[in-house]
Amino acid sequence: MKIKQNYYIETYGCQMNVSDSELIISVLDNDDYEKVESIDNADIILFNTCSVREHAEQRVLGRVSNERHRKIQKPGLKIGILGCMAQRLGERLINEDLGIDFAIGVDQYHALPQILKEDCGAELNFDFNQVYEGIIPKHQGEHCAFITIMRGCNNFCSYCIVPHVRGRERSRPYSDIKKDIEDALKSNMLDITLLGQNVNSYLFEDKAFPTLLKQIEKDFPDIERLRFITSHPKDLSDELIEVMAESSMLCNHIHLPMQSGNNEVLSRMSRSYSFDDYMLIVNKLRKAVPDIALTTDLIAGFPGESEAQFKDTLQAMSDICFDYAFCFKYSPREGTEAASYENQVKEPERLRRLQEMIELQRKITLDKYKAMIGKEVEVYVEGFSKKSKKKVSGKSRDFKICVLTGSASDIGSIMRAKVIDATAGTLICE
Ligand code: SAH
Ligand code: SF4
Ligand code: F3S
The 10s digit of each residue's pLDDT in 10-44 is 999 999 999 999 999 999 999 999 999 999 999 99
- Counting from 1 in the atom list of ligand 2, the atom nearest the Cα of 259 is 7
Mean pLDDT of 134-148: 97
Tens of pLDDT, residue by residue over 201-236, are 999 999 999 999 999 999 999 999 999 999 999 999
CA separation for the pair 335, 20 (Å, rounded):
24
Q: Which of 1-5, 145-149, 164-168, 422-426 has the lowest mean pLDDT?
A: 1-5
Question: Which of 206, 236, 251 is where one domain is finished?
Answer: 251
**What pLDDT is stored for residue 333 in this prediction?**
98
Mean pLDDT of 90-108: 94
One domain, residues 115 and 134: no
One domain, residues 208 and 94: no
CA separation for the pair 49, 43 (Å, rounded):
19
Nearest protein CA to atom 4 of ligand 3, as residue: 14
Residue 424 lies in a domain: yes
Residue 205 lies in a domain: yes
One domain, residues 49 and 142: no
One domain, residues 47 and 10: yes
CA separation for the pair 276, 171 (Å, rounded):
30
According to DSSP, the residues that pair with 396 across neighbouring strands are 379
Residue 218 lies in a domain: yes
**What pLDDT is stored for residue 23 in this prediction?**
98
Residue 371 lies in a domain: no
Nearest-Å Rg of the Cα atoms of the chain is: 22
**What pLDDT is stored for residue 123 in this prediction?**
85
- pLDDT category of residue 139 using cuts at 50, 70 and 90: very high
One domain, residues 151 and 101: no
Q: Which domain holds residue 97?
A: 5-123
Residue 290 lies in a domain: no
φ/ψ (deg, to 5) at 71? -65, -25
One domain, residues 119 and 136: no
One domain, residues 62 and 10: yes
One domain, residues 20 and 79: yes
Question: Which of 78, 103, 123 is where one domain is finished?
Answer: 123
Residue 314 lies in a domain: no
Check: CB of residue 261 under 8 Å from CB of residue 297. no
**What pLDDT is stored for residue 58 in this prediction?**
97
**What pLDDT is stored for residue 292 in this prediction?**
97
Check: CB of residue 108 under 8 Å from CB of residue 125. yes
Check: CB of residue 161 under 8 Å from CB of residue 333. yes
Residue 281's SS3 state is helix
Residue 329 lies in a domain: no
Q: Which of 10, 11, 14 to mutate to test the pocket of ligand 3 (most atoms within 8 A of CB)?
A: 14
CA separation for the pair 394, 384 (Å, rounded):
9
One domain, residues 172 and 106: no
Mean pLDDT of 134-163: 97
Tens of pLDDT, residue by residue over 403-425, are 999 999 999 999 999 999 999 99
One domain, residues 140 and 196: yes
- In which element (H, E) is residue 175 found? helix 174-186
Q: What is the CATH number of the domain that holds 11?
A: 3.40.50.12160
- pLDDT category of residue 99 using cuts at 50, 70 and 90: very high
Q: Ligand 2 in contact with 84 (CB < 6 A)?
A: no
CA separation for the pair 136, 326 (Å, rounded):
30
One domain, residues 18 and 68: yes
CA of 303 relative to ligand 2 center, distance in Å: 17
Check: CB of residue 314 under 8 Å from CB of residue 359. no
Nearest protein CA to atom 5 of ligand 2, as residue: 155
Q: How far is CA 15 from the centre of its chain?
A: 3
**What pLDDT is stored for residue 1 in this prediction?**
65
Residue 325 lies in a domain: no
- pLDDT category of residue 358 using cuts at 50, 70 and 90: very high
Question: Which of 123, 151, 185 is where one domain is finished?
Answer: 123
- In the chain, the number of structural domains is 3
φ/ψ (deg, to 5) at 62? -65, -45
Q: Ligand 3 in contact with 231 (CB < 6 A)?
A: no
CA of 298 relative to ligand 2 center, distance in Å: 13
Q: Which of 111-115, 349-353, 396-400 has the lowest mean pLDDT?
A: 111-115
CB atoms within 10 A of CB 396: 24
Q: Ligand 2 in contact with 156 (CB < 6 A)?
A: yes
Check: CB of residue 289 under 8 Å from CB of residue 247. no
- Counting from 1 in the atom list of ligand 1, the atom nearest the Cα of 229 is 2
Q: Does residue 120 have a pLDDT over 80? A: no
One domain, residues 132 and 112: no
Q: Starting from the CA of residue 165, give the closest ligand.
A: 3
